[in-house]
Structure 1
Amino acid sequence: MATTQDVNRQKRLAKKKIKREEKNQRVIYLDKAQSEKLIKESLEAVGKFPIHQCLIPQGLFANGFGTAIIARQINDEEVIVAGFMLDVYCMGVRNAFLRALEISEYTRTIGRMHEHENFGLAEPSLVLALVEQCAEYADQLGFKPHEEYEEARHIFGAIDPKECTETFNFGKDGKPHFVAGPNDAPKRCQRIIERLTEKLGADGFTYKLRKDA
């Protein structure tokens, strides 16, 4: 049988545990200079701020291209934003960035992008699962994500992609489908097609080039 001393000790330990958890969950807001320093020197902290907004384009798999956005609020005036330009048909994460923006600037930027991408709100776990699986699909084809991908993905923090119940079908009509983008020069397109041919055979993929590619 537990004594009064044991019960009191357990209560004290429980209170200490609660205080530790509250400390770990406390949000520390930063000014602009601190937020810029945070990105440069302490990427691990980026994913601990509260979610401000998560967005994905509604027609992503119909169009093949689109930008997934996740923003975390670091103070009353700023957010840290990560963007992932996705090619869900073939090339994976074509572009990625991590930036600190004023909320007003972020809102204007999303407004301009919305004119072309028709964003919709999404759960954080869905955005993470989509981005990671898109990168994995392209990696299987021999294409690595954008050079800033690893930095930008710090924004996901402790988000669990297993909480996403959606399934994604990458490629087009059951095959990888390379679509030349505006920055894909003719020589680059040729190398991509050669790599896909070597990996999948001439009939294992489809492609669409620009008229000047």
Structure 2
Amino acid sequence: MNALVPSEMQLDVLREVANIGCGHAANALARLVGGKRVNLSVPRAVIASAEETAERLGGDEPVVGARLGMEGELRGVMLFVLPVRDGAALGSVLLGQVARGAELESALSETANIVASACLSAIGKLTRWRLLPTVPEMLKGSAREVLASAVKETEGGQTSPVVVLEARFSADCAPPVSGQMLLVLEREGSKALLHRLGV
């Protein structure tokens, strides 16, 4: 892997890491929504700038979600992002009633924490690293604003490309809910992960 761009083989390995981590996260989410089926897209591993990532994942669409840092040997952030309507729907499923304001934010924050913990725990078992999420930070705004801010923060405000592992999910609950889970890795973090996996 050079300073910026992983090889195609390395991207395949990162996709498998995302598949394992996001799969465990989806299982955790399924338990939270009462055992309903949670469908997960084939995770992607892409090299993108903040702007490219934001455009591909929603542009000006208003979203709600949570940003969590990572404690341990892996550096980056995890994002749990839903369109505003889906965020409200998930809150009503979790609480059994229409949720707004602080109550909704608290439910989504706890969900993001559980989902992120499951994802990082699975990656930790794969790498034998002890990985934990930081306290969730709630986010609101356009997908562009939310995602661009998180991507830039991983590189201290730089705009150069980063590694983004992304999967879309949909829960077969009533009302239905869909959103995205993303791992945005610092360049050094992705190199350390690949080195740990012997690639």
How high is the TM-score relative to the length of structure 1? 0.27
How high is the TM-score relative to the length of structure 2? 0.28
Q: Per chain length, whose mean CA-contact separation is higher, i.e. which structure has more relative contact order (CA < 8 Å, sep 6+)? A: 2
More strand by share: 2
